[in-house]
Amino acid sequence: MIEERFDAIVVGAGMAGNAAALTLAQRGLKVLQLERGEYSGSKNVQGAILYADMLEKLIPDFREDAPLERHLIEQRFWMMDDNSHTGLHYRSDDFNEEKPNRYTIIRAQFDKWFSKKVQEAGAVVLCETTVTELLQDARGKVIGVRTDRKNGKVGADVVVLAEGVSGLLGTRAGLRSRPDPNKVALAVKEMHFLPQETLEARFNLKGDEGAVIEAVGTISEGMTGMGFIYTNRESISLGIGCLVSDFERTGQTPYGLLEKFKSHPSVRALIEGSEVKEYAAHLIPEGGYKAIPQLFGDGWVVVGDAAQLNNAVHREGSNLAMTSGRLAAEAIFQIKSRRDPMTKENLALYRKMLEDSFVMKDLKKYRDMPDLLHIRAQNFFLTYPQLVSKAMKDFVRVDGVTKAEKEKATLRSFLAARSLKGIIGDAFNFARAWR
């Protein structure tokens, strides 16, 4: 193992880890990044959404060579029952701009490219290296890491934990508690490959245009969860995720939910004839602001999913991960520039920078939403989607029954499922959590 000492060690090479390592290396610090996969992105076979603004702050010219799939011009939201969906559809040609705002990417390819940029900036990147524990001195200050390599101890002034939502290193070292199953979702995804012309015809796209569909309803069997479909160049990323605690409580399987989602009439037509080549499962932090653990301490900071930095309401993760990694690195650089030690008191600068950014401001705004959706899951993910579907079906069907009779029947259906007081209460609580 490397015997020299580093200014910083970054554990993990996902969005947050790469952002942190790149920023540190760009500012001239001596950086070691450790990744247990064969290469950065080797454990990520899924597709994802990339937010351009956050990456531009790190790599302004990323569009020149980054492996981007499609820029997004269309967003669909579906509320589903077993045989239908009611949708909200937004599409704008304004998104066919010179520098698009959002892209679909395939993480295995993108993370590998991102890691190359980290290495070009001067960081030492070691893959196929598992960090087994954090090294601490007699006072508990983190002073480096131990890896599974021979003579695997490496010292550093500070360790950046970008290890993902499970956070095993931080947990083992007593720096954080285990993630709460009520605050973590398990998502499963498949990659469905189709000829490019077929995919574009089904989604009404051309060139590099892309679309996203996000869906809630009976597909999650009354659990807190969401389905999603992303268009890539010649494939569709399709998946669904629900809270881990709900899987434990109900005995439902992630793959069973995925099969149900795929077989829904609204989805089946979009993937008909596709070839499935990849399947993956991934843990996603869903607890929001209230689930954020301690973010810094003597000799360490935590970023990205490991810090529970995910905006579940707006389905944003990569932008928060990249921003947190960048801000952690900037805080470390400022402390290093002052020749100050990496103490808990000094590293509190990272938390302050996060609080001043959109990351914490957005998470604070929706801090009550995750709890509400979990507590009222049966209503929001089962009862209301079924009632909305029935109301829409009655609205569009013409069969000789008067509109007044149909309206009364719809109202009776809502009241039979939920009292008027309950419906008003849910609406009020939802609006308050959305405030």
Same domain as 139, residue 189: no
Range of the domain at 321: 5-68+105-177+293-365
176: pLDDT confidence band, cut at 50, 70 and 90? Answer: confident
33 in any annotated domain: yes
Same domain as 390, residue 361: no
Which of 236, 253, 285 delimits the end of a domain?
285
Structural domains counted in the chain: 3
Same domain as 196, residue 122: no
Reported as a single tens digit per residue, the pLDDT across 111-138 is 999 999 999 999 999 999 999 999 999 9
384 in any annotated domain: yes
Which among 112, 88, 92 has a CA at the least distance from the CA of 101? 92
Position 151 scores a pLDDT of 82
79 in any annotated domain: no
Mean pLDDT of 386-398: 83
Position 416 scores a pLDDT of 66
What is the residue-averaged pLDDT of the chain? Answer: 89
Same domain as 268, residue 235: yes
CATH number for the domain harbouring residue 24: 3.50.50.60
Which of 245, 266, 285 delimits the end of a domain?
285
Same domain as 186, residue 171: no
Q: Which has the minimum average pLDDT: 82-86, 259-263, 289-293?
A: 289-293
83 in any annotated domain: no
134 in any annotated domain: yes
Same domain as 420, residue 391: yes
Same domain as 48, residue 61: yes
Same domain as 258, residue 172: no
Same domain as 375, residue 356: no
Reported as a single tens digit per residue, the pLDDT across 230-261 is 999 999 999 999 999 999 999 999 999 999 99
pLDDT at 180 over 90: no
Position 245 scores a pLDDT of 92
81 in any annotated domain: no
3-state secondary structure the chain: CCCCCEEEEEECCCHHHHHHHHHHHHCCCCEEEECCCCCCCCCCCCEEEEEHHHHHCCCCCHHHCCCEEEEEEEEEEEEECCCCEEEEEEECHHHCCCCCCEEEEEHHHHHHHHHHHHHHCCCEEECCCCEEEEEECCCCCEEEEEECCCCCEEEEEEEEECCCCCCHHHHHCCCCCCCCHHHEEEEEEEEEECCHHHHHHHHCCCCCEEEEEEEEEHHHCCCCEEEEEEECCCEEEEEEEEEHHHHHHHCCCHHHHHHHHHHCHHHHHHHCCCEEEEEEEEEEECCHHHHCCCCEECCEEECHHHHCCCECCCCECHHHHHHHHHHHHHHHHHHHHCCCCCCHHHHHHHHHHHHHCHHHHHHHHCCCHHHHHHHCHHHHHHHHHHHHHHHHHHHHCCCCCCHHHHHHHHHHHHHHHCCHHHHHHHHHHHHHHHC
Which of 268, 285, 302 delimits the end of a domain?
285
89 in any annotated domain: no
Same domain as 276, residue 298: no
232 in any annotated domain: yes
321: pLDDT confidence band, cut at 50, 70 and 90? Answer: very high
Same domain as 351, residue 205: no
Same domain as 375, residue 305: no
Of 374 and 95, more confident: 95
Mean pLDDT of 22-33: 98
The model scores a pTM over 0.85: yes
CATH number for the domain harbouring residue 227: 3.30.9.90
Position 20 scores a pLDDT of 98
Who contacts 256 (Cβ-Cβ below 8 Å, separation ≥6)? none
d(Cα 187, Cα 402) in Å, to the nearest integer? 45
